Amino acid sequence: MNNYQKPDKDIWSGRSSEQQLYLHEKINCIDLKNEILPKKVKNSFAILGYACDTGVKRNNGRIGAKKGPENIRKMLAPLSNHFNSTTQIVDVGNIVCHDDHLEKTQLETSEYISYLIENTYFPIVLGGGHDLAYAHYNGLSKQYTDKTIGIINLDAHFDLRQLTGKGNSGTPFYQIAKENDSFYYCCLGIQKASNNKILFETAKDLKVTYLENTQFNIENRDIVFSTLDQFISSVDHIYLTIDLDGFSSAYAPGVSAPSPLGFSLDIVLETLEFICNSNKLISLDLVELNPIYDIDNVTARLAARLIYSIIEKITS
């Protein structure tokens, strides 16, 4: 596992209160190669970085997402801590990608996610490219061998491109579908202009549940919730993946593939609450933050607040 990089304690900095008034004072850094995870309390979360944009490069996207995990952590650090002692959050470091060895990076990532689940921690994985999803799902499936895992993806793209060589940030869900006997996939926010006809045909063939960005909005919440309810009811567990490029670029300018016609924050927050209230959510990742193109860390701040909101909803 030589792609592992221990957590950088210096990232977790901010105002000092000596009363854990801020998240950087609550979060513990754990080097998984040399330390044992703290004993689980009622709610235990582990932050793992996937510092890799090789899949984005292979998909002809603009690189820079490998710096995403660092910037999200920096925006999490100064947030106020309103979580009690029954909630613990640890930073367990990054998996980095050397040269073009994406497959090795994905394999190691899946092993660490499996380890976190085995130790009853809720993984919060920070991307990196959306090729993370392939690794993430594989890590979960190692632990939930007799359970169905439904994937809910908030995204402008299906990421169902068929393999013509090596995997990339556009192929993870196609890879999952082809390597598993069952495939449960719900995608919210799909943009027609960003997905060709073949991708829509593939989604149909694979029986993918989806709503286009014109449907995924607050005015349409009843249909959104009905769609979610039917999907969640059909599976044992939910793995949630949020591609930040699904948001309108007014909210998320710093992504690999920005769009002015993406979804808004209001429907996303209500969707997250609905998913958390199902009590089936077992893991989360956020992908495609590209700090090179971010403006005043707006996109990184958005990612941090989404993580904060999900932890808050799970522990409330």
d(CA 301, CA 272): 17
Nearest to residue 46, comparing CAs of 133, 119, 113, 123? 123
d(CA 13, CA 25): 8
- Number of residues that make up the chain: 316
266 marked as binding residue: no
10 marked as binding residue: no
82 marked as binding residue: no
* CA angle, 269 then 83 then 251, to 5°: 30
Count other Cβ atoms within 10 Å, centred on residue 266: 12
245 marked as binding residue: yes
d(CA 181, CA 314): 30
Beta strands 149-154 and 43-51, pairing class: unpaired
130 marked as binding residue: yes
Nearest to residue 101, comparing CAs of 133, 140, 131, 71? 131
243 marked as binding residue: yes
Feature table: binding site: 130, 155, 157, 159, 243, 245
Feature table: binding site for Mn(2+): 130, 155, 157, 159, 243, 245
